[in-house]
Amino acid sequence: MRRGALLIVLILILASSISAQGEDLSASDLLEDANRSYQKGSFDLALQHLNRSLELDPDQAEAWVLRGEIALYNLSDRDLAAESFARALAIDPQNAKVWYEMGNSLSFLGRAEEALDCYNRTLAIDPNNEKAWNNKGLILGVFGSYEDAALCFGRAIDVNPDLAEAWQNRGNALRAQGMYEEALENFDEALKINSELGGSWKGSADVLRALGRDEEALERLDEALEIDSKDETAWNERGLVLGFLGRYEEAVESFDSAISINPGYILAWNNKGLALHNLRRPEEALECYNRTLAIDPHFVLAWYNRGRALYDLGRADEAIEAYDSALEADPSFYLAWNNKGVALVDLGRIDEAVECYEKAIGITPEYEIAWYNKASALYSQDRFFDSLKCYDEVIRIDPNDADAWHSKGHVLFKLDRPSEAIWCYDEALEIDPERAETWLSKGVALAEIKKVGEAMEACERAVEINPEYEAAWYRRGILAYGSGQVEEALELFSRAADLNPDHAEAWNNKGWILYTLGRNEGALDSLDRALEADPDLGEAWNNKGVVLSSLGRNEEALLCYNRTTELNPAHSSAWNNKGAALYNLGRYEEAVDCYERALEIDPVFIDAKANRVAALRKMQAVPSPQGI
């Protein structure tokens, strides 16, 4: 008990002696203590000493400066720092260093205009403060004054050519002005001074990408990641470059690396979706866009990309909803207006689609894709003159748009202006001579103005470019048959049917030619293939009936003619042929009815007239039944 009491007394005495010593310390002593604590890394203790020193003597500029530096760089208390530097400047307004530090504090607080004023005050006192020039340049960059910013970084470099950050920052300012070669030189200079400067590796990668040097850009990003493998932005940029190189699987891996570092990194989620989209994995892409929107429901680009994924999945209604969400957030997003129009066309809502394209054009009058899509929508409504005007706008914007010239040719052909259509097709082929579909369209237009030889040459050119182009083989067959080249036409229709077994017209025409060559069984096989491909192809039913009639199978032929007239009651040949089958079966009265139907449709149908007369004669020659 006595020892315990003695220990308490000793502690009280010791505490009393410490308190007494502290009370005896002067402001300068406390400032020295603060400096010592600062050097040892005891920042909170240093701040305590400074506060006590300044209580004793608030006119110590040096103490206010140290207090500001500790607050700014060690405790991240920017408000305390700004307050401290302001007190120091009130005492010593010509201290360039304090103006510089005050600028830094205000920069961290987002008070850029005031920070810029502080750097200007610094440089007015000390024009050789390279860091002030550098930081002034950074502020000007925030304001978008990139040219002035580059000049400031240049002044910093003039003072200190080894200031790597200034080289890097001037590279960024030049890059923002589109001066990519000059920017690259600056990034390279920064890296010569400090090869560990990740920002210069990334900045130079971005410049190289803009210059189309993607492989080199990828190498630079790999260097940045060697320095800091946890740099999420470098992983994201690497994924973008890999995407430009078409290496989408690797791009996905890079975006995954960025996401593993920062699961809330919306750009990486969105970009991963784009890469998956390019890999034709829209379901997975959609999931990425959904993850993006779960993090930030107002991210317009993710809504837009979500719409694209839904559209590719055949979910046009949901795609429109996604585009509407994008447009609710940003009504000026012309790409979303255009894509909404595309989805509406798929749903047959053409008028609404046209309105969307007009919205896109109203926002960006030179947006040729919207003009083109509007033209196509109007074309689908047979509004050919309006469509033509839109295609002309596309051509005005881009005279080298082969699609627009080709489509304009189609419109002119529809307007019975084949010669002008041919001129448009020629313009398209001048731009893209390997465009098979344009050669075919030119061939069709040439045939329309009876230039069959040139038409055949154009179609031949189409199949030279694309030997698998069944439509061109088919058209060549039409031209050959029309020119009396029956055997060649047979080969051409056969080729078209081989390339596309569902090309009902090719099978039909092949069947008819086989019939004319007396190869009836082969003809029936081909006509059956035609009807398998298209059960509603009336011409194939009629032709099959003709073949069956020639084989004496008139009852079966009647079924074919009946099907033809069901599909097309105005098919005069089918009525005539049905009459012939009935005539062959001795059903003359029904035959006459069929011939008369044919003549109602085509009053100058010579065969029907002759057949009707023959049937009527048969009816007169047949004795009436005798009563019992």
In sequence order, the 6+-apart residues with CB closer than 8 A to the CB of 159 are 128, 129, 130, 133
What angle is formed at CA 47 by the lines to CA 46 and CA 52, rounded to 5 degrees? Answer: 100
Radius of gyration in angstroms for the set of CA atoms belonging to the chain, rounded to a whole number: 42
Count of beta carbons in the 10 Å neighbourhood of residue 592: 21
Banded pLDDT at 622 (limits 50, 70, 90): low
In sequence order, the 6+-apart residues with CB closer than 8 A to the CB of 602 are 572, 608
- Structure confidence at residue 84 (pLDDT): 94
Which string of DSSP letters, residue by residue, matches 207-263?
A: HHHHTT-HHHHHHHHHHHHHH-TT-HHHHHHHHHHHHHTT-HHHHHHHHHHHHHH-T
Rounded CA gap, 29 and 487, in Å? 114
- pLDDT at 156 exceeding the cut of 70: yes
| C-alpha dist (Å) from residue 20 to 14, 15, 17, 341 | 10, 9, 5, 84
Rounded CA gap, 558 and 546, in Å? 10
In single-letter form, the type of residue at position 69 comes to: E
- pLDDT at 20 exceeding the cut of 50: no
Banded pLDDT at 24 (limits 50, 70, 90): confident
- Structure confidence at residue 10 (pLDDT): 24
Which region, left, alpha or beta, applies to residue 615 given φ > 0 means left and ψ of -120 to 50 means alpha? alpha
- pLDDT at 462 exceeding the cut of 70: yes
The answer to pTM > 0.75 is: yes
| 3 state DSSP class of 288 | helix
Region 56-70 average pLDDT: 93
- pLDDT at 548 exceeding the cut of 80: yes
Q: Are 341 and 357 in contact (CB under 8 A)?
A: yes
What distance lies between CA 409 and its chain's CA centroid? 27
What does the block give as tokens for 302? 């993710």
- Structure confidence at residue 13 (pLDDT): 26
Banded pLDDT at 225 (limits 50, 70, 90): very high
Q: Give the position of tokens 């690497």.
A: 238
pLDDT in tens, 370-422: 999 999 999 999 999 999 999 999 999 999 999 999 999 999 999 999 999 99
- Beta strands (DSSP E) in 20-177 are none
Region 575-589 average pLDDT: 95
Region 7-36 average pLDDT: 58
The domain locations on the chain are 398-499
Give the right CATH number for 398-499 from 3.40.640.10, 1.25.40.10, 2.40.10.10, 3.30.200.20. Answer: 1.25.40.10
| 3 state DSSP class of 12 | helix
In sequence order, the 6+-apart residues with CB closer than 8 A to the CB of 608 are 572, 575, 576, 579, 595, 598, 599, 602
pLDDT in tens, 44-56: 999 999 999 999 9
- pLDDT at 170 exceeding the cut of 90: yes
Region 473-502 average pLDDT: 95
Q: Which helix (H) or strand (E) holds 572?
A: helix 572-584
Q: Are 422 and 446 in contact (CB under 8 A)?
A: yes
Region 478-494 average pLDDT: 95
Rounded CA gap, 174 and 167, in Å? 11
Q: What's the chain's average pLDDT?
A: 93
In sequence order, the 6+-apart residues with CB closer than 8 A to the CB of 615 are 579, 583, 588, 589, 591, 592, 595
In single-letter form, the type of residue at position 159 comes to: V
List phi, psi (to 5°) of 361: -70, -35
Q: Are 378 and 390 in contact (CB under 8 A)?
A: yes
| 286 burial type by CB count under 10 A (0-12 exposed, 13-18 middle, 19+ buried) | buried
- Structure confidence at residue 626 (pLDDT): 47
219-228, 350-359, 532-541, 616-625: least confident range: 616-625
- Structure confidence at residue 620 (pLDDT): 87
Any idea how long the chain is? Answer: 628
What distance lies between CA 206 and its chain's CA centroid? 20
Q: Percentage of the chain surpassing pLDDT 90?
A: 94
- pLDDT at 29 exceeding the cut of 50: yes
- Structure confidence at residue 299 (pLDDT): 96
Q: Using the 8-state DSSP alphabet, how is residue 98 labeled?
A: H
In single-letter form, the type of residue at position 450 comes to: K
Q: Are 226 and 200 in contact (CB under 8 A)?
A: no
Q: Percentage of the chain surpassing pLDDT 70?
A: 95
